Amino acid sequence: MAVISFANSKGGSGKTTSALLLACELANTKRVTIIDADPRHPITTWATLTGVPENLTVVTNESEKTILDEIEAAVEQSTFVIIDLEGTASRLMSYAMSQSDLVVVPAKEQQQDALAALDVIKEIHRDMKANRRDIPYAVLFTQSKVVAKSRTARFISQQFRDNPKIDTFKTEIFERDAYSAMFAVGGSIRTMSSKDVNNLDAAQRNVEAFTAEIIAKLRANREKAQQVA
């Protein structure tokens, strides 16, 4: 069992897309619950369309008062619990992160996103002190250009990767037609046809690499916790 939260205080960071991509990919083999705690409820809307994976359950968060109960109930029925958090620092965000085995901090390779990611990291460290436990986290760059990255984008991502205190995913979520198509037509990238979206194979490989790195981080964090104990 693992609880994975996606958090960034800036809208448009790729938070919801990344969370849904992971949930759908994991649901190919495991029971997954995704808790939609974004006030806009984009994943709840997506779930009204066709093609929701059989192993995937979508729970719409009611409020900060219910999030802990929602997480507890999800843990009882699923191998993976994924939480798409609201875009502002809040008590709900703190509650969810306190229960997480990993917090993913998505960000575009832009200055505003980078600053927002740092704000979330500061919030995570405050929650660590309040809860007296380590909360593993990692920055995930999203909506990245596959080729022809700007100098600014390369500079921002390298600043994070060179910082030994901040874990950063090697995998980036690239800008792909298939990812936006999910919210328009429903389903996952595995249910789409290459006739309808561009570079579908590349999108699938990207999500597979992201999911594999998530699993690797969860295992490494678990082994580290066991050694400390």
Share of the chain above pLDDT 70, in %: 98
Residues 180-200, mean pLDDT to the nearest whole number: 91
Summarize pLDDT for 65-80 with one digit per residue, the tens. Answer: 999 999 999 999 999 9
Alpha carbon of residue 41 to chain centroid:
15
Query: Which pLDDT belongs to residue 147?
Result: 82
Tens-place pLDDT, residues 15-36? 999 999 999 999 999 999 999 9
CATH number of 2-228: 3.40.50.300
Question: In the prediction, which pLDDT does 90 show?
Answer: 81
For residue 148, pLDDT beyond 90: no
CA 82, CA 58: separation in Å to the nearest integer? Answer: 10
Q: Inform me whether the pLDDT recorded for 206 exceeds 90.
A: yes
Query: What are the structure tokens assigned to 197, written together?
Result: 């979206």
In order of 2, 82, 101, 224, 227, the CA distances from 219 in angstroms are 10, 16, 10, 9, 12
The gap from C-alpha 8 to its chain's centroid, in whole angstroms, comes to 10
- pTM (predicted TM-score): 0.94
Distance CA 131, CA 69 (A): 18
Tell me the average pLDDT of the chain: 93
pLDDT at position 189 over 70:
yes
Distance CA 126, CA 112 (A): 21
Residue 227 has pLDDT above 70, yes or no: yes
- Per-residue model confidence (pLDDT) at position 134: 92
Q: What pLDDT is stored for residue 214 in this prediction?
A: 98
Predicted pLDDT at 11 = 72
pLDDT band, very low/low/confident/very high, at 203 (cuts 50, 70, 90): very high
Q: Which two tokens stand for residue 207?
A: 């999500």
State the residue for tokens 């249910």.
191
pLDDT-derived band at 89 (thresholds 50, 70, 90) equals low
Whether residue 149 has pLDDT greater than 90: no
Mean pLDDT, residues 51-60 taken together? 96
Q: What is the pLDDT of residue 8?
A: 85
